[in-house]
Structure 1
Amino acid sequence: MASKPAPDATRRSEKSRRAIYAAALSLVAEAGYPKTTVEGIAARAGVGKQTIYRWWSSKADVLLEAFLDLAEQTARPAGHDGDGHETAGIPDTGDLAADLKAVLRATVDELLDPRFDAPARALAAEGVVDERLGRVFVARLLEPQLQLYVARLRSARDAGQIRRDVDPRIALELFVSPLAQRWLQHTGPITYDYTDTLVDYALYGLAPR
């Protein structure tokens, strides 16, 4: 009598992991971060609580990994340069203002996407309280994105489009930080017009031209 093949533990683990990711993201969106629990995530995912604790130490860690996975799954495709060559990160068309406005408009779309909004806010808030989580959130998600701006601004500096003495890592904060603050604190609408204006102010200043 032929024996049945052994269950594929790897496939089963991946299925459970995906179910846990989905459960964590949906619960945070529906109930908010404070009311989301490991027990609730486990129940919705159809796994035992011990399964979650075998892979993660807290609900914050579950949510962080789920959010990073979501970001990776929905990552925007690479752009193209002026010659039609595919590029990694922010496109370099030779027009710095247009390139920055385009990527910030894409960021607006992402910030207004319900799939991202609740978990991103939860992680940003929890990262202020939990220093370890905050460092991981910055290192694994925020800093890689900021480095794309650094590379584009460095290219603009090399092309003579911005001052030679400009530090790209500081310069990017002129438009990224106000957007993040407005989004986090609900101090105004998040729109394309707003981010376009941030770029204009950052590149051209406030003095009369």
Structure 2
Amino acid sequence: MVKKPAPDATRRSERSRRAIYAAALALVAEAGYPKTTVEGIAARAGVGKQTIYRWWPSKAEVLLEAFLDLGEQTAREAGQEPYSVPDTGDLAADLKTVLRATVDELLDPRFDAPARALAAEGVVNEQLGRQVVGKLLEPQLQLYVDRLRAAQDTGEVRAGIDPRIALELFVSPLAQRWLQRTGPLSHGYTDTLVDYALYGLAPR
């Protein structure tokens, strides 16, 4: 008799993981975070809930990892580095490029629901909040810091400026408008944020 090849546990685990990611993102978009459960994710992914608990302690961690993976996958499909800030030598143009891409992502239904769920849950769940900041926000903010420091080296930004504070001039207003829906998100809006941040409000 011809022996059948042994099942590849690694491939099976990867298929299960991807199914769980997809299920978590879909359920949050359809039912909202409060109604999304580990049992529901497991049922939709076609796995046992113990499979989920073997890899993640709660639905919050499942969603965070699924969201991070979504960002990486989307960037790869577009032929881009995930969460990158370009350096063409023109700081204003580079910031406008990355903020326009951020607006596109925030307006994408695939990103909007899980991002809002993570932001809201992170406020009341201190442990998740630290993970969101550490795994998602800080790596992105550090890219802005690095780009602003490069601009300091070329004289586009004053030497005494603290990049970590400076980036809040354009990142924070965008986050506030998105979170609280205080106005429309558009490329024109983020372009204006960059212009105000770099050139100020006083007459030139």
Q: Could you say whether these structures have the same fold, taking a TM-score greater than 0.5 normalized by the shorter chain as the test? A: yes
Q: In the alignment, what sits opposite 2:13? A: 13
Picking from 153, 156, 165, the partner of 1:158 is 153
Once the two structures are superposed, residues 71-108 of structure 1 have per-residue CA deviations (whole angstroms, 9 ceiling, x without a partner) of 111126149xxxxxxxx932222221111111110111
Count of residue correspondences = 201
Q: Among residues 150, 169, 178, which one is paired with 1:174 in the alignment?
A: 169
Residue by residue, what CA displacement relative to the aligned partner does 1:130-165 show, whole Å, maximum 9, x if unpaired?
111111111111111111111111111111111110
- Give the TM-score of the pair, scaled to structure 1: 0.92
Q: 1:42 offset after TM fit, Å?
A: 0.8
Moved more, 46-55 or 117-126: 46-55
User: Which AA in structure 1 matches 2:107?
Assistant: L
Cα offsets for 1:53-78 (capped at 9, x unmatched): 11111110111111111111112614
Moved over 6 A (4+): none
Q: Which residue of 1 aligns with 2:178?
A: 183
The one-letter code sitting in structure 1 at the alignment partner of 2:133 is V
2:84 match: secondary structure: coil
Equivalent in the alignment of 1:29: 29
Q: Distance in 2 between matches of 1:101 and 1:185?
A: 22
Separation in structure 2 between the aligned mates of residue 51 and residue 91 of structure 1, nearest angstrom: 39
CA–CA distance in structure 1, aligned partners of residues 15 and 88 of structure 2: 42
Q: Give the Cα separation in 2 of the matches to 1:147 and 1:113.
A: 24
In proportion to residue count, which structure has more helix? 2
2:133 to 125, 135, 138: 138
Quick one: distance in 1 between partners of 2:152 and 2:81? Answer: 22
3-state SS in 2 of match to 1:161: coil
C-alpha RMSD of the superposition: 1.5
Amino acid aligned to 2:141: L
Deviation of 1:170 (Å): 0.8
Letter in 2 for 1:49: K
Quote the offset at 1:2 in angstroms: 3.0
Alignment-derived partner of residue 102 in structure 1: 97
Q: Any idea what the Cα deviations from partners look like across 1:14-46, whole Å, max 9, x if unmatched?
A: 111111100000000011101111111111111
Unaligned runs of 5+ in 2: none
What are the residue-to-residue correspondences of 1:4-83 with 2, within 5 Å?
A: 4-75=4-75, 77-78=80-81
SS in 2 for 1:74: helix
In the alignment, the residues of structure 1 paired with residue 146 and residue 99 of structure 2 have an alpha-carbon distance, to the nearest angstrom, of: 15
Q: Who is 1:82 aligned against?
A: none
Partner of 1:115: 110
Q: 2:198 maps to what in 1?
A: 203
Shift of 1:3: 2.8
Provide the C-alpha distance between the structure 2 equivalents of 1:33 and 1:78, rounded to a whole number of angstroms. 29
Distance 2:171 2:100 in 1: 12
Could you tell me the percent identity over the aligned residues?
A: 83
How far apart, CA to CA, are the structure 2 residues paired with 1:148 and 1:15? 32
| TM-score normalised by structure 2 residue count | 0.94
